[in-house]
Chain A
């Protein structure tokens, strides 16, 4: 059962032509075999097609949730000379979706070949820290970073409410525009009709399958980390990360509501909704992202695309830092280092917000779109029958 180093192995040269030709070759073999159709939505969707174009392959790649059950079930997997490895080739296609579907300098072919965002994340993080420091210096003086704030735990004792809201809104607006334009461009290529994107029924099913992470169940046993080991671990850790993130979002919204509608100023009490959901959310992010980092470090290299793995790592580290600085900020409220801790957390939040649409963060958007598309196709084909 051991999987030795393959005799045959696809080596892409970073150009879409070679990548899509290889994906098409492998998927044609899958379509001739069809033993994997019980695992997930990818294989039934493949069976609806006899010819594959680039958009079909992009759709199938985003529909794939990377459980890897098919790879370990496959008689054609390396070292077989056919070298079929859907999880790896589809991950490479998805990487292209995340990179080229958004308006960014990475659209240029050479940049698309670049494994990650390079130094950009560090530059953005530094810039973000500089903006925070500048605001603190101008508004309250840099010394407030190193003494207890008054009132204790209030962010506005460090930077004014107006500055925080203004910068946050600008960054959020930017990220949403970038993210949404990626979504629109994906959908236009995938289905053409924007009207279909607003059909309710396919969305309901897609949201349910997305919220329950249905396709991370793999072949009923969960995702494969190694050939001999399938477990629900990856799905559970995804719950921690995604619902942790959602709780953090709820904390932010709750804080805004308490402040602007109920006229309660921070710091909020330990029993308040913003603090409780923020604390739980932060803990979820830490547990989930740390667990996924550990899982990714033990996975079999052959089962995925190396560049996607480093995208995953960047994203998970960012989430880990986000969660950890958030928790420290909560705990350090009344300490003299609170100002510094808060400044770091705020710069991390802003940097992450800017980088989100260029990172693995967007994967859930494209997976949701693919699920919606899959539901539309299923409805189409049942009408044809």
Chain B
């Protein structure tokens, strides 16, 4: 996660000050949605890691991995599930009971307050009396029908990287009860993932890192975007949308044996063949057109540059639309490799509007007295498009803490 820290230490390689995080946030997508709330998030982020440690979180030294985030970001030991396990253990030690495998299916509202929740658990419905409610139930990315309202039929070809439970039920209940919207309806984070991934819950392992070293074609065997635009971590998150906008929401990365060891192999393994027409056949693409596109690509490479995977090497094409502006090499050394990719949706931005106490706001400008929101369901208040690595976790933790404290304050009067 990405937090402000004045100096480096065991878990960060250097300082990352308030101003720098704020600047980074302003450069993302269309920038902060609500400057006041975004600034509050940045300010509160500084004290969040210690709070997490106090509640059982463990950290690990900066990663040696590919994303080069050791200075700005901190990593949980073992990832998100390990963090949640630690939180659940802390809760259980505090005597808090948790109803697993249960869902909220409805609210009962009186005056300004949610007085009861309709909870479904083990096939039974019951009413749970509430004094305060914190909604931290995520976005609606696992609800294809809802996605299709903004993306049309193509939404049904997307894959969802998270669990099937992110279906937006609570979000839609809040809207039904008059909650105001925050964030863009088409705002989401999506990366290129293996087309063979499961429809839900494929997680991080299905992502494809081959793109900077490949040519990427759509189902008509046409290139459609500069594969070498920038260093991969900076461009990692644009490819989900790139592919979502192609016909059939599918694209194909093709590379050859020269670069096959330069990136992590896809978890299901790539398709390989000794000829490009063999690749076309395996992918079910028009062989003639595929070979033509690769031949044109090879012919357009500007001679005299040296391939260097570690930097923007300027090895580019000339005369193509679009060009490939870095890491362009002839694709001519069999065996050839390829992989089919689809957009994998990580999260959605559209949620409910909140005030600085995380209280859910209504369309008419009033607030729910006892309904609070935290995490993805209100992330649209802070950012409404684009992506800053690790900042979703910051939003979730900062606002989880605010919402919890405010809910407790409300209940205790």
Task: Identify which of B204, B261, B264 contacts A35 (C-beta below 8 A).
Answer: B204
Contact between A34 and B65, CB atoms less than 8 A apart: yes
* Interface: B106 (CB within 8 A): no
The interface stretch among A37-45, A86-94, A172-180, A300-308 is: A37-45
Q: Given A81-B198, A219-B82, A221-B58, decide whether A32 and B267 contact each other with a Cβ distance below 8 A.
A: yes
Give complex CA distance A81, B58 in Å.
27
B203 touches A75 (CB 8 A): yes
Q: Does A119 contact B (CB under 8 A)?
A: no
User: A29-B267, A44-B64 known; A73 and B78 CB under 8 Å?
Assistant: yes
- Report Cα–Cα, A31/B204, bound state, in Å: 11
Chain B residues with CB under 8 Å of A39's CB are: 77-78
A28 within 8 A of partner (CB)? yes
**Number of chain A residues close to chain B: CB under 8 A:** 32
Given contacts A35-B204, A37-B63, A51-B265, contact A219 B89 (CB under 8 A): no
Given the known interface contacts A38-B75, A221-B58, the answer about A32 and B206 at a Cβ–Cβ threshold of 8 Å is yes
Cβ of A200 under 8 Å from chain B: no
Q: Is the interface of A mostly helix, strand, loop or mixed?
A: loop
Q: Which of A1, A32, A38 is the one whose CB lies under 8 Å from B205? A: A32
B203 proximity list for chain A (CB < 8 A): 33, 75-76
Whether A73 contacts B81 by the Cβ 8 Å rule is yes
B65 lies within 8 A of A37 (CB): yes
Q: How far is the CB of B403 from chain A (nearest CB, A)?
A: 22
> Do the beta carbons of B201 and A38 come within 8 Å of each other?
no
Q: Which residue of A lies closest to B194 (CB)?
A: A32
B204 touches A38 (CB 8 A): no
Given A32-B207, A219-B58, A221-B58, A37–B64 Cβ distance below 8 Å? yes
B60 close to A (CB within 8 Å):
yes
Distance in Å: Cβ of A44 to nearest Cβ of chain B:
7
A22-B316 Cα distance, complex, nearest whole Å: 40
Task: Say yes or no: is A239 at the interface (Cβ < 8 Å to chain B).
Answer: no
Decide: B267 and A75 in contact? CB cutoff 8 A.
no
Smallest Cβ distance from A123 to chain B, in angstroms?
46
Q: Smallest CB-CB separation from B261: which chain A residue?
A: A50
Most chain B beta-carbon neighbours within 10 Å: one of A31, A33, A73, A227: A73
A74 on the interface (CB 8 Å rule)?
A: yes
Complex Cα distance, B85 from A70, in Å, reads 12
Partner of B64, one of A29, A35, A47, A81: A47
> CA–CA, A47 to B63, complex, Å?
12
Is A107 in the interface zone, CB < 8 Å from B? no
Output the least CB separation between B233 and chain A (Å): 14
User: Which residues does chain A contribute within 8 Å of B80, judged by CB atoms?
Assistant: 35, 75
Q: How far is the CA of A35 from the CA of B81 in the complex (A)?
A: 10
Interface string of A14-57 (1 = CB under 8 A from B): 00000000000000110111111111000010010011000000
Q: Which residue of B lies closest to A220 (CB)?
A: B58
Residues of B within 8 A of A29 (CB): 205, 267
Is A228 an interface position by the 8 A CB rule? Answer: yes
Q: A225 CB to closest chain B CB, in angstroms?
A: 14
Instruction: Out of B61, B85, B207, name the residue touching A38 (CB < 8 Å).
Output: B61
Closest residue on chain B to residue A28 by CB atoms: B267
Q: Is A283 among interface residues, defined by CB-CB distance under 8 A? A: no
**A1 and B207: CB pair below 8 A?**
no
Contacts of A50 in B (CB 8 A): 261, 264-265
CB-CB contacts of A70-112 with B at 8 A, as 1s and 0s? 1011111000111000000000000000000000000000000
Instruction: Tell me the minimal C-beta distance from A20 to chain B in angstroms.
Output: 15
Q: How far is the CB of B162 from chain A (nearest CB, A)?
A: 10
Residue of B nearest to A26 (CB): B267
In the docked arrangement, what's the CA distance between A220 and B86, Å? 13
In the complex, the answer to whether B78 meets A35 with C-beta atoms within 8 Å is yes
B232 within 8 A of A: no
CB-based contact B100/A37 at 8 Å: no
Known contacts A1-B100, A220-B58, A227-B85: A32-B64 contact under CB 8 Å: no
Report B-chain residues with C-beta under 8 Å of the C-beta of A35.
78-80, 82, 204
B65 — nearest CB in chain A belongs to which residue? A34
Please measure, in the bound complex, the distance between the C-alpha atom of A367 and the C-alpha atom of B269, giving whole angstroms: 30
| Contact (Cβ within 8 A) B58 A32 | no
- In angstroms, Cα B77 to Cα A36, docked, is 7
Q: Is B88 an interface residue (CB 8 A)?
A: yes
CB distance from A24 to the nearest CB of B (A): 10
Taken together as a complex, chains A and B put the C-alpha atoms of A75 and B82 apart, in Å, by 9
B85 contact from A28, A72, A80, Cβ within 8 A: A72
| Residue among A2, A32, A37, A221 facing the most chain B CB atoms (10 A cut-off) | A32
Shortest C-beta distance, A67 to chain B (Å), equals: 11
Contact partners of B75 in chain A: CB under 8 A: 38
Could you say which residues of chain B place their CB within 8 Å of the CB of A80? 201
Which of B79, B88, B266 is in CB contact (< 8 Å) with A75? B79
User: Closest residue of chain A to B206, judged by CB?
Assistant: A32
Provide the bound-state CA to CA distance between A219 and B201, in Å.
25
Give the shortest distance, in Å, between B10 (CB) and chain A (any CB). Answer: 11
Instruction: Say how far B4's CB is from chain A's closest CB, in angstroms.
Output: 23
Instruction: Tell me if A158 is interfacial: C-beta within 8 Å of chain B.
Output: no
Instruction: Give the residue among A35, A74, A80, A228 with the most B Cβ atoms within 10 A.
Output: A35
Collect the chain A residues with CB atoms within 8 Å of residue B63's CB: 34, 37
Q: CA separation between A109 and B266, bound complex, in Å?
A: 33
Kindly report which residue of chain A lies nearest to residue B204, judged by CB atoms.
A33
B311 CB to closest chain A CB (Å) equals 16
Q: Which residues of A lie under 8 Å from residue B198 when comparing CB positions?
A: 81
CB distance from A33 to the nearest CB of B (A): 5
The interface residues of chain A lying within 8 Å CB-to-CB of B205 are 29, 32-33, 76, 82
Q: Interface digits, B263-284 against A, CB 8 Å rule (1 contact, 0 not)?
A: 0111101000000000000000
28 of the cross-chain contacts (CB-CB < 8 Å) are A1-B100, A28-B265, A28-B267, A28-B269, A32-B204, A32-B207, A32-B264, A32-B266, A34-B63, A34-B65, A35-B78, A35-B204, A36-B78, A37-B60, A37-B65, A38-B60, A38-B61, A38-B75, A44-B64, A50-B264, A50-B265, A72-B85, A73-B77, A73-B79, A81-B198, A82-B205, A219-B58, A221-B58
Knowing that A32-B206, A38-B60, A75-B203 touch, tell me 7 more A-B residue pairs with CB under 8 angstroms: A33-B203, A37-B65, A38-B78, A44-B64, A50-B261, A75-B201, A82-B205
The 9 A-B residue pairs whose C-beta atoms are closest, nearest first, are: A38-B60, A35-B79, A73-B78, A73-B82, A32-B205, A33-B205, A38-B77, A32-B267, A29-B205
